[in-house]
């Protein structure tokens, strides 16, 4: 597909220069354009900042008819149209925000082919009869040249950003079987990709995939302590003074608290979350885009549709919900290719908190579960995604890039990291230890104490605590009481957490009291534990060599 002998090559290169001001193509851009121009269905996986927009905007310009672009957010659409109109490219959009007469005007202009690109939100496709008549008309006159699905991963329930309206986009292929479809996304595991291809009914589609490694981003994981915000303040002042960044927080309240503390430290900062007035949100995003404020403390509601190229840092104040989501959120840093930092503050107890939120969130989304099996399946997927994220955080030896890219089915040579992640920066290297015996003892302790205690408590007993509570429960009389006394600090905890991420032990959320604090108990998953207990499976973990 990289040929420069296609009938459109000359015009393509000229328009890339004159209309977009680019001197060359980025990886895969030319190939994608050639494939879609040849009339194929195309699926594109390209990391954020890779230059996806050009792969449909240029074809739109050099094709005769209209290109339909489905895009999840109006703010994203407006941003694109602003850029296009600056380059004198006729583009417009239809959304619920416009009043009837405006819509009529646009429809008329669309019929007379005044525009090259039409952006719509997915609910328009699902609900607007006028739009579907317009597309039918254009199509019967041969004026519908291409259909583009941006952020195509939103089709998939397994992705981190499922949007129900995307499900209905399959009708496009039904109604316009001859029109080439171009699906674009910056996140897709193999499973999400299959979902997208199926839901959009893509035929013999050509897939372009490139490495998701973002060489200009540096990844650091730091322990989250009570002094987390002080640490963030110091990090920003030392490395990114007066530069621009995003701090992702778990809850609305966290956003406000973190923002307030940083403001006290002298930063220009604002919070941003879903329960704010939409006007206020737009206002804050504008201030940030224009560098009037440097830092936004936000929930993940702040993200898609941010095109600021010079974001220098993305900080996660709490555990992200999945590796995919984490990669995507970090991807908002350094779109201009300049070095940028991603810092993740991790403490194991956030796992329980996030899991609790996921359980509640899924119940809210699906309501009283009508279809129990799909509800449970969705919940299970989210929990699995979260466990993979915990496992990423618990790993303190392997290259962060490698750990992220494995998740996208990519191999990565860690020497290419060149010490740009916290694990590769460690001097000491690592050693492997067989911890099968300790793991077995921990599982047995969970059983002996009746599957009704927290991991903290189990560890206390294992290390030989004589606390009031231990004595009251008579767990000081257990044979395994104190069996882990000799272990280095944190070692048993690390093994315990490994057992959780491998689902040999499950953390069951017990209750959330009226103050919102959550407690959990450990239970043995007998199915998964059997290999360990019967001696069939050994557990070998890597530890930093200095330990």
Residues of this chain that bind ligand ADP (CB under 6 A): 22, 24-26, 29, 46, 48-54, 307, 309, 335
User: Least distance to ligand ADP from the beta carbon of 508, Å?
Assistant: 40
| Partner whose binding site includes residue 399, from ligand ADP, Zn ion, none (CB under 5 to 8 Å by kind) | Zn ion
What is d(CA 135, CA 538) in angstroms, rounded to the nearest whole number?
61
Please report which residue ranges of 395-452 form alpha helices under DSSP H: 400-407, 422-425, 436-448
User: Least distance to ligand ADP from the beta carbon of 114, Å?
Assistant: 24
| Partner whose binding site includes residue 309, from Zn ion, ligand ADP, none (CB under 5 to 8 Å by kind) | ligand ADP
Q: Which is nearer to ligand ADP, 69 or 135 (CB)?
A: 69
What is d(CA 250, CA 54) in angstroms, rounded to the nearest whole number?
34
User: Least distance to ligand ADP from the beta carbon of 154, Å?
Assistant: 14
Instruction: Write the DSSP string, 52-105.
Output: TTHHHHHHHHHSSSEEEEE-S-HHHHHHHHHHHHHTT--EEEE-TTS-HHHHHH
Evaluate whether 302 touches 274 at the Cβ level (below 8 Å): no
User: Least distance to Zn ion from the beta carbon of 426, Å?
Assistant: 10
Classify residue 474 as exposed, middle or buried by CB count within 10 Å of its CB (0-12, 13-18, 19+): exposed
User: Least distance to Zn ion from the beta carbon of 238, Å?
Assistant: 21
Structure tokens at 452: 């009704």
> Which residues, listed in sequence order, are joined to residue 544 by a DSSP beta bridge?
430
Structure tokens at 187: 């996140």
User: Least distance to ligand ADP from the beta carbon of 272, Å?
Assistant: 20
Structure tokens at 54: 């050009």
- Run of H or E including 12: helix 9-18
User: Least distance to Zn ion from the beta carbon of 333, Å?
Assistant: 16
Among positions 379-438, residues that touch Zn ion (CB under 5 A) are 399, 417, 421, 424
| Partner whose binding site includes residue 421, from Zn ion, ligand ADP, none (CB under 5 to 8 Å by kind) | Zn ion
Q: Which is nearer to ligand ADP, 398 or 410 (CB)?
A: 410
Q: Which is nearer to ligand ADP, 22 or 391 (CB)?
A: 22
Give the list of residues 6+ apart from residue 322 with CB closer than 8 angstroms, or none. Answer: 160, 382, 385, 386, 388, 389
Task: Give the C-alpha distances (Å, rounded to integers) separating 258 from 41, 221, 271.
Answer: 46, 19, 8
Give the list of residues 6+ apart from residue 497 with CB closer than 8 angstroms, or none. Answer: 348, 390, 394, 455
Residues that bind Zn ion (CB under 5 A): 399, 417, 421, 424
């Amino acid at each position: 597909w990289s040929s420069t002998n296609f009938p459109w090559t000359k015009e393509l290169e000229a328009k890339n220069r004159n209309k977009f001001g680019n001197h060359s193509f980025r990886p895969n851009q030319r190939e994608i354009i050639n494939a879609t121009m040849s009339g194929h269905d195309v699926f594109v996986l390209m990391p954020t900042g890779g230059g996806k927009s050009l792969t449909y905007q240029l074809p739109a310009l050099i094709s005769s008819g209209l290109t339909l672009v489905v895009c999840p957010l109006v703010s994203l659409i407006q941003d694109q149209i602003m850029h296009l109109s600056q380059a004198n490219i006729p583009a417009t959009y239809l959304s619920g925000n416009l009043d009837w007469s405006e819509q009529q005007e646009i429809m008329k202009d669309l019929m007379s082919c005044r525009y090259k690109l039409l952006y719509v939100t997915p609910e328009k496709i699902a609900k607007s009869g006028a739009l579907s008549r317009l597309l039918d008309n254009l199509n019967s006159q041969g004026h519908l040249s291409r259909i583009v699905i941006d952020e195509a991963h939103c089709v998939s329930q397994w992705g981190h950003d499922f949007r129900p309206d995307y499900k209905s986009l399959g009708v496009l292929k039904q109604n316009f079987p001859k029109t080439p479809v171009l699906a674009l996304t910056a996140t897709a595991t193999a499973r999400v990709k299959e979902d997208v291809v199926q839901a959009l009914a893509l035929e013999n589609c050509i897939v372009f995939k490139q490495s998701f490694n973002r060489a200009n981003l540096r990844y650091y994981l730091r322990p989250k302590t009570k002094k987390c915000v002080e640490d963030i303040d110091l990090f920003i002042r030392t490395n990114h003074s007066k530069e621009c960044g995003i701090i992702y927080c778990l809850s609305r309240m966290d956003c406000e608290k973190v923002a307030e503390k940083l403001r006290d430290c002298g930063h220009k900062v604002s919070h941003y979350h879903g329960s704010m007035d939409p006007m206020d949100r737009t206002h804050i995003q504008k201030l940030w885009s224009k560098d009037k404020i440097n830092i936004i403390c936000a929930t993940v509601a702040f993200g898609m549709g941010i095109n600021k190229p010079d974001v220098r840092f993305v900080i996660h104040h709490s555990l992200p919900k999945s590796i995919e989501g984490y990669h995507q959120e970090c991807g908002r840093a350094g779109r201009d290719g300049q070095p940028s930092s991603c810092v993740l503050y991790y403490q194991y107890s956030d796992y329980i908190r996030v899991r609790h939120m996921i359980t509640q969130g899924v119940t809210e989304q699906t309501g009283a579960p009508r279809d129990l099996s799909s509800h449970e399946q969705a919940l299970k997927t989210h929990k699995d995604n979260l466990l993979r994220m915990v496992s990423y955080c618990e790993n303190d030896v392997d290259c962060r890039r490698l750990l992220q890219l494995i998740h996208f089915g990519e191999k990565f040579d860690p020497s290419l990291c060149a010490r740009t992640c916290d694990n590769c920066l460690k001097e000491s290297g690592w050693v492997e230890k067989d911890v099968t015996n300790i793991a077995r003892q921990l599982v047995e302790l969970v059983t002996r104490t009746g599957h009704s205690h927290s991991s903290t408590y189990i560890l206390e007993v294992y290390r030989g605590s004589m606390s009031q509570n231990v004595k009251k429960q008579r767990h000081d009389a257990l044979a395994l009481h104190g069996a882990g006394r000799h272990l280095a600090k944190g070692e048993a905890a690390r093994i315990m957490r490994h057992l959780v991420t491998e689902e040999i032990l499950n953390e069951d959320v017990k209750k959330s009291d009226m103050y919102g604090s959550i407690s959990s108990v450990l239970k043995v998953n007998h199915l998964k534990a059997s290999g360990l207990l019967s001696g069939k499976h050994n557990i070998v973990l890597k530890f930093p060599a200095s330990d």
